[in-house]
Amino acid sequence: MNKEIDQLAADNIRALAVAMVEKANSGHPGGPMGGADYMHILYSEFFNYDPSDMHWPFRDRFFMDAGHLSTLMYAQYYLLGNYAKDDVANFRQWGSVTPGHPEVDVARGIENTSGPLGQGHTMGVGAAIAANFLKARFGDWMNHKVYGFISDGGVQEEISQGAGRIAGHLGLSNFIMFYDSNDVQLSSKTDEVTSENTAMKYEAWGWKVVTIDGHDHEQIRQALKDANAETEKPTLIIGETIMGKGCVTADGTSYEGYTELHGKPIGDTGADYEKTLVNLGADVENPFDIYAQVEEYYEGIINRKKDEAQAKKKEIDAWRAQNTELSAKLDGFLEGKMPALDFSSIQQKEGQATRAASSNVLAYLAENVENMIVSSADLSNSDKTDGFLKKTSVLQKGDFSGAFLQAGVAELTMATIANGIALHGGVIPVVATFFVFSDYMKPAIRLSAIQELPVKFVWTHDAFRVGEDGPTHQPIEQEAQIRLLEKLKNHSHEQSFVALRPADSQETNVAWKMAMENQKTPTGLILSRQGIKDVPAMNGTRYEAALGAEKGGYLVQEVADPDVILIANGSEVSTLVAATKLLEEKEGLKVNIASIPSEGIFRQQSQAYQEKVIPPNKPVFGLTAGLPVNLEGLAGPNGKVFGLEHFGYSAPATVLDEKFGFTGDQVYQQVVDFLK
């Protein structure tokens, strides 16, 4: 170790962070200045990866929670050769690879899009779960670490309770988190908003906790040594740091620890930009330069990292040579290869709820897909993920041989952990709860869509037919919210989310087929609580007909020159079937019925196909148990959609169907009135 070069390297990181924010005239310089010492020691001495192979699956991983500290990461990775000088000089600018908050860019070392505070470290917990899951199946050689970095805001966000509880309960000793405790947040000092004992809180959750001077390199070094040696618990390193460490005024007086240093360029505070650069050893004329001594030192670090990675790779190669079948299986997991699956073989009972049909699919997947973790927010017997659970066991401390995560009542935490599992790679995450509780998951669903993660969301109890539980548990507006993501493009210019609301059991089989085959974006399955009459098949088997769902929408009943087109998804399709019998018998009408489980996918089909299903010159009537807007875009300006424009009430489902106008008789009359 070299105290002088360590200090110089940390100060170089500080100067770069200051310069980036100053040039952009936007950002957060104070926190990166406080965290620079920890980052330098972590990456120079402890972090294991291959600079020549950034996607190496057995690398250590770093999950940033405090995304506003992005300059801390960019400066550190610039020293490591992951960014060019122009990259850091164009912080927060159009087209740059250094956005204001870090976005997934594994080639440059960015493992996660940080998002709102709290989610970043929780995704790290998910990655640690995935790593332990794989380690249990392939051996102790798979011993890479997951590092998290959290700030005061992340600790305060409610999600930190779920992440802390689950990580401690599972004994995630491969998860090491640094808490940058600088007593300052964006608009106040922390003592104005909290008086909790953070160390005691994490200890109560089962963590190893150590408090250090976050600027003392030897204390940082020792804390990381102890954390890497820990085998029973996750570790929280509370680093007491100084906001704006190294800031000075125009006369050289120290200007550290002030709240304004959190979110303003240094030049807009009481500190002096140029004098601060000089104090940190930077060249004011060339603030984005790496110091000569630091550059030489980091060249040695990079070469050492490569050598250490090669030694690890030789160890892995030796394991592969002795375990060829396991090795091939591991590669398949990491490459996202799916085993041959026959969804048509999954037997379903007549007239069951789609959540029950989903349970049967999950039981099949439990026996055929070995790298899947299914999680439920204390609802496995209601959201029917117990179909999977009955075929496996629960993940627990010291035993990750199972594949079911009992998340407890923590929907946002569970969904964010799933994002982390997906980011780690090699494991397929599935999470489940009631559809109305998707409200608690929205921030994670959004990050799943932004990061293009193939998480599978299972949402049951999909409509007001939840019945007696009343309006708080009856989703009305949730489908409209979720389907907005189907209209939103991700940065790969693709539909950012796939929402599927299947009409019956066989369409549920197909929906799961679509979800498992979708490795580009998240998928949500919206499933019923109540039994649904199976939709009759026009030709062949119902499963063969339901494969039409792969186009987002298809005709479940088709006649020549129809008088009206009826459209719906989910359980309303069977209601349309019942209404159609009356329309045919009483009115002599010719009726086409379309099931549209995913408008987003349907809109990707050719114009000719869309017009075959929903002709533009025919009257269209839509039925939805949610807001009419769910189908209004499909029905068109001359169509009509019957839905709900009010919250539900507590009563049996059959009573609500009648009171709200959702029986076959009532829909028949609505269509007749519409056609008049």
Residue 92: is its pLDDT beyond 70? yes
**CA–CA dist 607, 589 (Å, integer):** 26
Q: List, by residue number, the catalytic residues.
A: 411
Are the CB atoms for 580 and 591 separated by under 8 Å? yes
**Residue 1 confidence class, pLDDT cut points 50, 70, 90:** low
Classify residue 403 as exposed, middle or buried by CB count within 10 Å of its CB (0-12, 13-18, 19+). Answer: buried
- What pLDDT was estimated at residue 187? 77
* pLDDT tens column, 69-81: 999 999 999 999 9
How far is Cα 646 from Cα 651, in angstroms, rounded to an integer?
Answer: 15
How far apart, in Å, are the Cα atoms of 111 and each of 15, 106, 425? 24, 5, 11
What number is the average pLDDT over the span 505-514? 98
Share of the chain above pLDDT 90, in %: 96
Distances (CA, A) of 669 to 257, 582, 587, 661, 663: 71, 9, 11, 10, 10
Question: What local confidence, expressed as pLDDT, does residue 368 receive?
Answer: 98
Q: What percentage of residues in the chain have a pLDDT greater than 70? A: 100
In the chain, the amino acid numbered 657 is: D
Give the Cα separation of 39 and 544 in Å (integer).
Answer: 56
pLDDT digits (tens, 9 = 90+) for 613-628: 999 999 999 999 999 9
- Closest alpha carbon to 18 in 392, 273, 388, 319: 273
* Residue 25: burial class (beta carbons within 10 Å; 0-12, 13-18, 19+): exposed
Q: pTM for the full model? A: 0.97
pLDDT(219) > 80: yes
pLDDT of 298 above 90: yes
Mean pLDDT of 559-569: 97
Mean pLDDT of the chain: 97
Model pLDDT, residue 189: 85
Q: How confident is the model at residue 252 (pLDDT cuts 50, 70, 90)?
A: very high
Is the pLDDT at 301 greater than 90, yes or no?
A: yes
* Per-residue pLDDT tens digits for 95-142: 999 999 999 999 999 999 998 999 999 999 999 999 999 999 999 999
Beta strands in 388-439 (DSSP E): 404-406, 428-434
Q: How far apart, in Å, are the Cα atoms of 309 and each of 50, 51, 108, 312, 672?
A: 5, 9, 17, 5, 72
Rama region for 522: left / alpha / beta (φ>0; ψ in -120 to 50; rest): beta
Query: For residue 638, what pLDDT band results from cuts at 50, 70 and 90?
Result: confident
pLDDT in the model for residue 112: 98
Q: At what angle do helices 159-170 and 411-424 cross, to 10 degrees?
A: 60
**Cα–Cα distance list, 242 to 36, 209, 215, 255 (Å):** 11, 20, 8, 10
What's the pLDDT at 184?
Answer: 80
Structure tokens at 260: 């304004």
pLDDT in tens, 396-416: 999 999 999 999 999 999 999
Look at residue 185 in the predicted model and tell me its pLDDT.
79
Rounded-to-integer distance, Cα 576 and Cα 671, Å: 10
3-state secondary structure 576-609: HHHHHHHHHHHHCCCEEEEECCCHHHHCCCCHHH
- What per-residue confidence (pLDDT) applies to 183? 85
Q: What would the two tokens of residue 433 be?
A: 């709860």
| DSSP-based three-state secondary structure for 256 | coil
pLDDT at position 188 is 79
Distance (Å, whole) CA 218 – CA 237: 13
Matching residue, tokens 């490795």: 519
**181-220: string of b/e by CB count within 10 Å (b at 16+)?**
bbebbeeeebeeeeeeebbebbeebbbbbbbbebbebebb
Q: Which residues pair with 430 in a beta bridge?
A: 374, 456
Q: Mutual orientation of helices 119-138 and 159-170 as an angle, nearest 10°?
A: 20
Distance (Å, whole) CA 62 – CA 80: 14
Say which residue the tokens 């049967």 belong to: 360
Give the pLDDT score at 3: 86
Q: With left for phi above 0 and alpha for psi between -120 and 50, is residue 440 left, alpha or beta?
A: alpha
pLDDT digit string, tens, across residues 2-44: 889 999 999 999 999 999 999 999 999 999 999 999 999 999 9
Q: Which two tokens stand for residue 554?
A: 């298809």
447-463 confidence digits (pLDDT tens):
999 999 999 999 999 99
The residues pairing with 620 across neighbouring beta strands, listed in sequence order, are 565
DSSP 3-state assignment of 13? helix
What are the φ/ψ torsions at residue 63 (nearest 5 degrees)? -110, 110
Q: Sign of dihedral through CA atoms 261, 246, 226, 123?
A: positive
Which tens digit of pLDDT belongs to each residue from 191-216?
Answer: 888 899 999 999 999 999 999 999 99
